[in-house]
Amino acid sequence: KRSKLLFEMEKRPQVFISYRGKDLRLTLVPHLKHHLNDSNVNVFTDSNAAGERLKNLLNHIKNSRIVIVIFSISYLESRWCLDELAEVRNCLLRKKLDFLLPVFYKVRTYQVQKQTGDFGKPFRNLKRRHPHHRVIRWKKALRFAAKSIGLAYRENSS
């Protein structure tokens, strides 16, 4: 029984990657997963289970140790991504998660923090369709993540 339990513990994701967009799904995310897996790090992305329910994704966040959030121009098109981010913030504040690494992929930190520019356009549409308390929760999570130490990936980054 003990060896089975240890195996199950090792199989759970150590890193959860939150992102949105076909460009990331086909470029940056596979490379990142490959390098983490080569280092014996278990990684979960929602592409592992297309159509997986949000509740299950939130459980994967809770069971991970590190979350990498890749903010791209299309990130705010998804209320699911925003709900994931809000859960990440809650887990970090309750010490249920060890670390958040935001990656700013062709967007600026201030755009994430203030939901401005092209990055913020989808958020303005979401704000009209969702309850105020939910929008406030998302804004807090975006500000929290934007203030965290992260990485910037610009147009000519390699």
Catalytic residue list: 84
Q: For the chain, first and last CA: distance in Å?
A: 46
CA 83 – CA 95 distance, rounded (Å): 18
DSSP state for residue 46 in the 8-state scheme? G
From residue 68, give the alpha-carbon distance in Å to each of 6, 29, 62, 127, 157.
25, 10, 13, 24, 18
Q: Edge to edge, what strands does the sheet with 43-45 contain? A: 43-45, 15-18, 66-71, 99-105, 151-153
